[in-house]
Amino acid sequence: MTNFPSTSPAEKPGRVVLIGAGPGAADLITVRGARVLREAEVVLYDDLANAELLDLCSATCEKIYVGKRLGSHSATQEHICNLLVNRARAGRYVVRLKGGDPMVFGRAGEELLALSGAGIPFEIVPGVTAASAASASTAIPLTQRGVTSTLVFVTGHPCGGKSQTPVDWRTLAKLQATLCIYMGTQRFVEIARELRAGGLADTTSVAIVAGATLSSQTVRVGTLADGAELLDGLQGRPALILVGEVVRWSELVRAADQFALASCEI
């Protein structure tokens, strides 16, 4: 059980806005997201949202950190849901600021369920998800006419617990898709092995984009046959893995010198 300062329900309940902070660079938040952030009375934020965005908040805004630096564990989802409900019940205008897009691997579902269960009105402001950011900052198109018409967003981290069916990488290998793998770096070698077992060639191109859109962005390009060394130095950084022919295709663009890559190690 989590304890919270008791707040008596306000006559007029507040509301909650889930805002996508974008992938990294502060100016990739939407205009609407920035406006709502300026008006917020309470903001709950974690590590993936650029801390510079908090400068947009008013001086009186209550900023609550709910990320991993809290200790060895991040705030539990239950704790976050309770905070959202509790502050909104007290009549406050609450923002839940999440990295990327709140609806993509962002546990927005649990928060929306808690809010609707408590009868609290909510809104969602979308954000630029990491896959789009990684694509834009490497000039790797996620879809390409004649190359791939299927796009998969998949998590490399078994985060759904026992109740969730594990990702079937061998089936994904047969889709001839671009795979955008979130949270996949720790299991890259295992995932690559499964994709190859499912029929993808050893030479299938892979790009790993860490810290996409930040000045510290790092890009590595290799193949499914590469080992863990492809990830050397990237441990602990948010990174997106792109797998598919589009990675190779984009090399044609780079070879034609039509695109200057920023801060890349290719």
Residues within the interface to ligand SAH (CB under 6 A): 23-24, 48, 98-101, 104-106, 129-130, 133-134, 182-183, 209-213, 238-240
Q: Which is nearer to ligand SAH, 90 or 219 (CB)?
A: 219
DSSP-assigned beta bridge partners for residue 15: 93
Catalytic residue list contains 68: yes
Q: How far apart are CA 248 and CA 39, in angstroms?
A: 45
Shortest Å distance, C-beta 130 to ligand SAH: 3
How many residues can be counted in the chain?
Answer: 266
Which residue among the candidates 68, 168, 174, 202 is catalytic per the annotation? 68
Question: Where on the phi/psi map is residue 262: left (φ > 0), alpha (ψ -120 to 50), or beta?
Answer: beta
CA distances from 107 to 44, 84, 203, 219, 253 (A): 14, 14, 34, 27, 36
Q: Tell how strand 42-45 and strand 239-243 pair up.
A: unpaired
Residue whose CB is nearest to ligand SAH in the complex, by number: 100
Catalytic residue list contains 47: no
Q: Which is nearer to ligand SAH, 74 or 144 (CB)?
A: 74
Q: How far apart are CA 30 and CA 128, in angstroms?
A: 8
Shortest Å distance, C-beta 105 to ligand SAH: 4
User: Do 17 and 102 form a contact (C-beta atoms < 8 A)?
Assistant: no
Query: 58-91 burial string, b = 16+ CB within 10 Å, else e?
Result: eeebeebbbeeeeeeebbeeeebbbbbbbbbbbb
Shortest Å distance, C-beta 91 to ligand SAH: 29
Q: Which is nearer to ligand SAH, 13 or 141 (CB)?
A: 141
Q: Which is nearer to ligand SAH, 33 or 99 (CB)?
A: 99
Q: Which is nearer to ligand SAH, 173 or 210 (CB)?
A: 210
Shortest Å distance, C-beta 95 to ligand SAH: 15
Q: CA-based angle 32:60:40, to the nearest 5? A: 25
Q: How far apart are CA 145 and CA 246, in angstroms?
A: 10
Q: Which is nearer to ligand SAH, 43 or 90 (CB)?
A: 43
Which tokens belong to 141? 């198109």
What are the residue numbers of the active site?
Answer: 46, 68
